[in-house]
Amino acid sequence: MTLTVGIIGAGRIGRLHVDNLRLIPHIRIKSVSDVAAQHLETWAEEKQIEVLTTNYHELLNDPVIQAIFICSPTNTHADIIKEAAAAGKHIFCEKPVSFSVEETEEALAAVEKAGVKLQVGFNRRFDPNFRKIRTLVQKGEIGTPHILRITSRDPEPPGVDYIKSSGGLFMDMSIHDFDMARYIMGSEVVEVFAKGAVLVDPVIGEAGDIDTAIITLKFANGALGVIDNSRRAVYGYDQRLEIFGDKGAAEVNNNRATTVEVSTIENVMKEKPVYFFLERYTQAYIDEVTEFAAAVLKNYEVSCNGFDGLQAERIARAARQSLETGAPVQLKPAAQTAAN
């Protein structure tokens, strides 16, 4: 059985998904749409893309295409989700679903009405290290969780044009950590308290954002969480996590090129963390699209659904509100529908 897909958006993440989907034998990438399609002809030929277009509606109107990957800018996601759902296409959408909780809720309602699958691209859920931690928590290996600590720091900040259109640090960067917090803890966030600063580049502050943050979380199960973010860690891509409970603790450390540690009379040395997120999460990106394809072909539930995307956005919005008011923000429970 073959799954025929179309890709909307051929930027960095869209091209990555093309490469990873081509690794799966039962996937056919029929079409790719991008506003700059005229500059992608050589690439499309190399990747054996059958149809290259500037108009994504051609993909939605193609009866052969069963699933759509939405890799376009965030401000287009919600509308395309609604259109794709109406066209009966299963949907993989990069995070976040939108910049507006209300728009996301509308998109999810369209998905539920159409009865199609929607997976949100929180790739870190598919990292084997984080999955192991989640399994340990679910099996009670560390007992009742008390504290979750997440460190997530980029090696360098993005350009100011990205900052202006990204939705801010909480929405484009911390949102991965908000999803990871829910995923690992297996409990919803009920309170968010955020502090932020501009310590990396004043241009980021001039663009209306922050580049450094500490976010504390309270979960429905009573546990506490803390996330620290920075736009610049000069030593590499810093991705660490620890879960502490009444029976013990478990942690994930950074990935490095090798695990060699050299000890001499002068010092003890080991390699820096890998520098780029594509290096750190290579296998996770492959696994997330592989599992999406399996969910569609075998009618499984997707591993990260629209409700997960919505909850991460709600936490991001609460973090922004907390930053602006200087006070903790309470999160009310949200109903999860069967289609999500």
pLDDT recorded at residue 334: 77
pTM: 0.95
pLDDT in tens, 281-309: 999 999 999 999 999 999 999 999 999 99
10 Å Cβ neighbour count for 26? 10
pLDDT recorded at residue 40: 95
> pLDDT class for 336, splitting at 50, 70, 90?
low
pLDDT recorded at residue 340: 43
Q: Which residue has the higher pLDDT, 336 or 107?
A: 107
pLDDT recorded at residue 19: 97
Give the mean pLDDT of 296-323.
Answer: 98
pLDDT recorded at residue 339: 45
Three-state secondary structure along the chain?
A: CCEEEEEECCCHHHHHHHHHHCCCCCEEEEEEECCCHHHCHHHHHHCCCCEEECCCHHHHCCCCCCEEEECCCHHHHHHHHHHHHHCCCEEEECCCCCCCHHHHHHHHHHHHHHCCCEEECCHHHHCHHHHHHHHHHHCCCCCCEEEEEEEEECCCCCCHHHHHHCCCHHHHCHHHHHHHHHHHHCCCEEEEEEEEECCCCHHHHHCCCCCEEEEEEEECCCCEEEEEEECCCCCCCEEEEEEEECCEEEEECCCECCCCEEECCCCEEECCECCCHHHHCHHHHHHHHHHHHHHHHHCCCCCCCHHHHHHHHHHHHHHHHHHHHCCCEECCCCCCCCCC
10 Å Cβ neighbour count for 113? 12
pLDDT recorded at residue 337: 53
| pLDDT of 243 strictly over 60 | yes
Domains along the chain?
A: 1-115 (3.40.50.720), 123-274+306-328 (3.30.360.10)
Give the mean pLDDT of 57-74.
Answer: 98
Give the mean pLDDT of 33-44.
Answer: 95
10 Å Cβ neighbour count for 206? 12
pLDDT recorded at residue 338: 40
pLDDT above 70 covers what percent of the chain? 98
